[in-house]
């Protein structure tokens, strides 16, 4: 397994984060993610932000982002 975190942008859905990581909120409090995967909301409809709860399915959220070069 790679020591890098991989973030996958799912069509019409959340970001899937693979690998242990730390997610830090605006006040500096952190969630330690030790599991193999976590899904992060990008539609704004989740009742469990920043984590996805499937709310995008009923919200009408659409996005099919594609990689296209250097960031």
Distance CA 45, CA 8 (A): 19
Within a domain: residue 1?
no
Is 11 among the domain residues?
yes
Task: Say if 68 falls within a structural domain.
Answer: no
Q: What is the pTM of this model?
A: 0.87
- 71: tokens are 């960031």
* Whole-number average pLDDT of the chain: 93
Does residue 35 register a pLDDT over 90? no
Indicate the burial class of 10 (C-beta count within 10 angstroms; 0-12, 13-18, 19 or more): middle
Cβ–Cβ contacts within 10 Å for residue 45, how many?
17
33 CB-near residues (< 8 Å, 6+ apart): 17, 20, 21, 22, 23
Write out the residue range of the structural domain in which residue 46 sits: 6-59
Looking at residue 3, its pLDDT comes to 77
């Amino acid at each position: 397994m790679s020591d890098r975190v991989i973030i996958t942008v799912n069509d019409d859905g959340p970001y899937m984060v693979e690998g242990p990581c730390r997610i830090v909120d605006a006040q500096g409090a952190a969630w330690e993610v030790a599991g193999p995967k976590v899904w992060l909301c990008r539609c704004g409809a989740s009742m469990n932000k920043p984590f996805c709860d499937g709310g995008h399915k009923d919200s009408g959220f659409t996005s099919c982002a594609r990689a296209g070069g250097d960031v």
